[in-house]
A and B are shown apart, each in its own frame.
Chain A
């Protein structure tokens, strides 16, 4: 699959996201503590703009009256009906086996590598000293 340069790493600090458009597809790029993940900006439920949703953690109740909170910032909640997805995998929290948001491979490469590998960089100017976020689309 063609690899597209979509942003510099400094544009997406940890805990933030950026929406990019690659080959007509809106994709959200998320930074979870230095790891980057890409999700298609369309909720598999009714088509809401998933990547505009709130990021939150995973709340679980092992028994009534007890709540556990984990994975802070790693769960994305659709802005429409609140369906939750794992940013790392795109899997639905409530039905991970059969429902998932489409995810894209994301990697980071230095400017020199981007130039040497002749990666597609239509909208992002490439400089050797920068690091870039690359999406497979």
Chain B
């Protein structure tokens, strides 16, 4: 860790700013066929004849219209063409250099891992992993890849994790907050075992399968409702991981919850602890649920909570614990958070170092 810390400290460079670790950057493909070099002839043919269809009601689009084209900042479209997030040079200029990002973790949200056809999902995940490495990490080593896995085929998922473990291009395993079953179920445990063995954290990003309604009450009318309900999906996964005993079985497993909000954390901790006092004998836990949250879960900041009184954010950070919080930008999506202006409270130098850099160093192994 000290090597990384030294490299991130820019005190002696012309740039006096802190080297920031951004845990959420979204890469996109320039064309739909960008995966071809990393796919076998069988899967290239499959894509051209059948295309990708995902676990959801639509083959080629999300279930709700988005707020902004491709869900992106309107100023993030590269001047030389292509989708936002597809041009490494422009990403470097607009985000990595502009915000002094020392390490950025890639979070592809391109449906590889939620293909309805499990064999296709495995092939797409392998190809997209190689694509991240070759197209982003090789030309810009500040960008590190996520290991995408076909989570509903744990055997293939474990194989993919093992084949990438130890490669400095890959710094986490990505899962989505919307899954076929809650992530605490034992069908997913082989993935957690492989993650713990490889000392790779789980980047649990909002989104995923679209096969069930976003709310327990069914399908809402507006994107604004769907956008908000992503928060519920993250809370549900936090409760499932804790209550179903994942962290009891895998005590060294680290899960970073990305883009799911966080002001709910203290509320969830209080309520689960309260339930546990009464219904302790139903669940396989030795400690109060909040203690597993404090030892195995982290939250990423974006989209930061914006309470009416800005100082209330400090209270929320304190309830969660300053050491559990890592910075994320969500670049190039429209709800991007700028590390200089996202929160309206004044952080101490130590708090800023923890949020923008040091806490992430405790989670990820950047080699």
Check if B340 sits within 8 Å of A47, measured CB to CB: yes
A92 vs B76: C-alpha distance when bound (angstroms): 23
Question: Main secondary structure on chain B at its contact with chain A?
Answer: loop
Check if A46 sits within 8 Å of B337, measured CB to CB: yes
- Residues on the B chain within 8 Å of A49, using CB: 75
Please choose the segment from A1-9, A29-37, A75-83, A126-134 that sits at the chain B interface, where 4 or more of its residues have CB less than 8 A away: A75-83
* Complex A-B, nearest 4 residue pairs according to Cβ-Cβ distance, in ascending order: A79-B74, A79-B75, A46-B341, A47-B341
B329 CB to closest chain A CB (Å) equals 11
A102 vs B76: C-alpha distance when bound (angstroms): 23
A80 vs B335: C-alpha distance when bound (angstroms): 6
Which among B76, B334, B340 is the interface contact of A81 at CB below 8 angstroms?
A: B334
Is residue B342 contacting chain A, with contact meaning CB distance below 8 A? yes
Is residue A99 contacting chain B, with contact meaning CB distance below 8 A? no
Check if B342 sits within 8 Å of A53, measured CB to CB: no
Which among B67, B74, B338, B341 is the interface contact of A53 at CB below 8 angstroms?
A: B74
Is residue A48 contacting chain B, with contact meaning CB distance below 8 A? yes
Check if A46 sits within 8 Å of B68, measured CB to CB: no
A45 vs B334: C-alpha distance when bound (angstroms): 13
Q: Which residues of B contact A (CB under 8 A)?
A: 67-68, 73-76, 334-338, 340-342
- Give 23 A-B contacts (CB < 8 Å), ordered by A residue: A45-B341, A46-B337, A46-B338, A46-B341, A46-B342, A47-B338, A47-B340, A47-B341, A48-B73, A48-B75, A49-B75, A52-B74, A52-B75, A53-B74, A54-B74, A79-B73, A79-B75, A79-B76, A79-B334, A80-B73, A80-B335, A81-B336, A82-B67
- Residues on the B chain within 8 Å of A82, using CB: 67-68, 334
Provide the A64-101 mask, 1 if CB < 8 A to any CB of B, else 0.
00000000000000011110000000000000000000
- Residues on the A chain within 8 Å of B337, using CB: 46
A58 vs B270: C-alpha distance when bound (angstroms): 43
Check if A80 sits within 8 Å of B341, measured CB to CB: no
Instruction: Determine the residue in chain B with the shortest Cβ distance to A44.
Output: B341
A61 vs B66: C-alpha distance when bound (angstroms): 20
- Residues on the A chain within 8 Å of B340, using CB: 47
Q: A46-B341, A52-B74 are in contact. Are A80 and B336 (CB under 8 A)?
A: yes
Number of interface residues of A (CB under 8 A): 12
Q: Which residues of A contact B (CB under 8 A)?
A: 45-49, 52-54, 79-82
B231 CB to closest chain A CB (Å) equals 17
A134 vs B140: C-alpha distance when bound (angstroms): 44
Instruction: Determine the residue in chain A with the shortest Cβ distance to B340.
Output: A47
- Residues on the B chain within 8 Å of A54, using CB: 74
- Residues on the B chain within 8 Å of A52, using CB: 74-75
B69 CB to closest chain A CB (Å) equals 10
Instruction: Determine the residue in chain A with the shortest Cβ distance to B72.
Output: A79
Instruction: Determine the residue in chain B with the shortest Cβ distance to A45.
Output: B341
A65 CB to closest chain B CB (Å) equals 11
A65 vs B200: C-alpha distance when bound (angstroms): 49
A52 vs B79: C-alpha distance when bound (angstroms): 13
A54 vs B342: C-alpha distance when bound (angstroms): 22
B306 CB to closest chain A CB (Å) equals 9
Instruction: Determine the residue in chain A with the shortest Cβ distance to B306.
Output: A45
- Residues on the A chain within 8 Å of B334, using CB: 79-82
A123 vs B336: C-alpha distance when bound (angstroms): 35
- Residues on the A chain within 8 Å of B67, using CB: 82
Instruction: Determine the residue in chain B with the shortest Cβ distance to A52.
Output: B75
A49 vs B334: C-alpha distance when bound (angstroms): 13
Instruction: Determine the residue in chain B with the shortest Cβ distance to A46.
Output: B341
Instruction: Determine the residue in chain B with the shortest Cβ distance to A50.
Output: B75
Instruction: Determine the residue in chain B with the shortest Cβ distance to A43.
Output: B341
- Residues on the B chain within 8 Å of A45, using CB: 341
A79 vs B341: C-alpha distance when bound (angstroms): 16
Residue from A45, A46, A54 having most chain B Cβ neighbours under 10 A: A46
Instruction: Determine the residue in chain A with the shortest Cβ distance to B69.
Output: A54
A79 vs B335: C-alpha distance when bound (angstroms): 10
- Residues on the B chain within 8 Å of A53, using CB: 74
